[in-house]
Amino acid sequence: MLRNRLLRRNNCLFMKNKQLQEKPGRPKVLYRVLFFQRGFTLLELLVVIFIVGIITTFATMSVSTNSNRIVEQEAKRLAALVELAAEEAILNSRDMVLLPMKSAYQFVSIDVRGRLSPFDDESGIFRPRQLPTGITLRLELDGDEIALSDEEDQQNQPRIYMFSSGEMTPFLFEVQLDENKGLYVNGEYTGEVEYRGQLKDGFD
């Protein structure tokens, strides 16, 4: 009797264990647990590092391309505004002056007394311009580089004149980002203004 009871009990335990092992979904759960607990292999780490490197490279290229586009945009804007100011001086028989600073510039006019006065421009085209962060100007007059600062001192600021007769103070601007090689804009005595892009024989 006792022996039979023990045999029946063992058979029940065996069947219970077998049912638990064959229960749907249990092997998958166990596999997931083991997978996450085993860690990463060297190959998996190398693949992750490779992917991160590619993403970083593309992000850097994107930022660099966008920065170059902004510098080009500012250089072309400066050239266009100087050209417009020269035309304004001729059409209205009023001399114009460009006052450049290191990270900004503005246009003013010369009144009948020969004094500098803010240019009355309803369109806002000749409003004071602040360059984007990191972008600065370098200026060359008569072959000499002129030190620019951001101090608003019209008396000591360099001046580029655009006369009503059509003549202009010859100049060479470099628009640069973080003191890297920049893009150039130059003006001639005859009043011609040109966006030059990159120059091999720039300031340096």
* Chain segment 33-45, per-residue pLDDT in tens: 444 455 667 777 7
More confident residue, 52 or 65: 52
32 has pLDDT over 50: no
Q: What is the pLDDT of residue 72?
A: 93
pLDDT level of residue 193 (50, 70, 90 thresholds): very high
Distance separating alpha carbons of residues 78 and 116, to the nearest angstrom: 20
- The 10 Å CB-count burial string (b at 16+, else e) for 74-105 is bbeebbebbbbbbebbeeeebbbbbbbbbbbb
Residue 48 CB-half CA count within 13 A:
6
Q: Tens of pLDDT along 96-155?
A: 999 999 999 999 988 877 788 887 777 788 899 999 999 999 999 988 999 999 887 767
188 has pLDDT over 80: yes
15 has pLDDT over 60: no
Return phi, psi of residue 98, to 5°.
-100, 125
Mean pLDDT along residues 85-101: 93
Q: What is the pLDDT of residue 125?
A: 87
Distance separating alpha carbons of residues 188 and 86, to the nearest angstrom: 11
Domain map of the chain by residue range? Answer: 2-39, 71-197
Give the CATH class of 71-197: alpha beta
pLDDT level of residue 6 (50, 70, 90 thresholds): very low
pTM above 0.75, yes or no: no
Mean pLDDT for all residues in the chain: 79
What's at 2, amino acid-wise? L
Share of residues in the chain with pLDDT > 90 (%): 44
C-alpha to C-alpha distances, 104 to 101, 133, 136, 137, nearest whole angstrom: 5, 11, 8, 8
